Amino acid sequence: GPEQRDPGRDNMVWAAGSFTWAASALRLGSHVGWALDPARRVMRRYRDQLRDWWDWKDLMSGPGTRAGGPACPTPPPGPQAPGWDLSGQPWCNSHYTRQLIGWAIPLALSGQHWDGPAGRLTLRPADGAPLRLHIFLNGGAGWLDRRHREIRCVLGVLRIRHLVVLRPGDDQPIADLSGPWELVPGDVLHY
């Protein structure tokens, strides 16, 4: 039980798991505000407290984690070296591909499903998602602007043969269009 553990032992926080959880919750139909809360906390930690946008770590040290680890349960006598208490600091596993799970969040917000061989793009925005959402396809990127009912290419080429846009929260189509379209930066497809 917790009463038998030394502080700093087995109390790591898997920050990257928050992105997985958020993307999964969005895909399962949870409201955006609730689903994104764990990922927002991790983002705030890196942005506002650590001020490090480039070296993301999978694990954060939990309360009571010391530089000496479980083998050094008390600080050495005399003045403590800076950084002795590592509570809440990044711990290990930096620069790995696991952090790429963060890219699942924009895809989950737009509800994007891309069938590349068929050229079929289906978008089912999450409940409470912003009106402007990212789209990432092989070969290009763009925006879904729900207010203006358009898809805008911003990078590369968007090659779409079939477009389906569904209402947030259900499977009722707002648009079901057949192309083909080849959009380059600045091109807009209205639906």
Judge whether 122 and 110 are in contact, CB under 8 Å.
no
Strand, helix or coil for residue 124:
coil
For the chain, the farthest-separated pair of C-alpha atoms sits apart, in whole angstroms, at 74
- 137: tokens are 């396809």
Q: Reply yes or no on whether the pLDDT at 71 is more than 50.
A: no
The residue assigned the tokens 């039980």 is: 1
Q: What is the pTM of this model?
A: 0.74
pLDDT of residue 72: 47
Q: Which residue has the higher pLDDT, 80 or 63?
A: 63
d(CA 110, CA 27) in angstroms, rounded, equals 10
Find the mean pLDDT for residues 148-170: 95
Bridge partners, residue 71, by sequence: none
Q: Of 91, 102, 95, whose CA–CA distance to 26 is shortest?
A: 102
d(CA 142, CA 121) in angstroms, rounded, equals 12
Strand, helix or coil for residue 3:
helix
pLDDT of residue 122: 97
CA 13, chain centre distance (Å): 17
Q: Reply yes or no on whether the pLDDT at 80 is more than 60.
A: no
Question: Each residue of 90-140: pLDDT tens digit?
Answer: 777 666 666 678 889 999 999 999 999 999 999 999 989 999 999 999 999
pLDDT of residue 37: 93
pLDDT of residue 180: 97
Q: Which residue has the higher pLDDT, 178 or 70?
A: 178
Q: How confident is the model at residue 56 (pLDDT cuts 50, 70, 90)?
A: confident
The residue assigned the tokens 């924009």 is: 106
Find the mean pLDDT for residues 78-87: 61
The residue assigned the tokens 């898997």 is: 14
pLDDT of residue 138: 94
Q: Is the peptide bond before 180 cis (omega within 30 degrees of 0)?
A: yes
Question: Each residue of 4-41: pLDDT tens digit?
Answer: 545 545 677 777 788 899 999 999 989 999 999 989 98
pLDDT of residue 115: 97
Query: Please, where are the H alpha helices in 62-153?
Result: 104-110
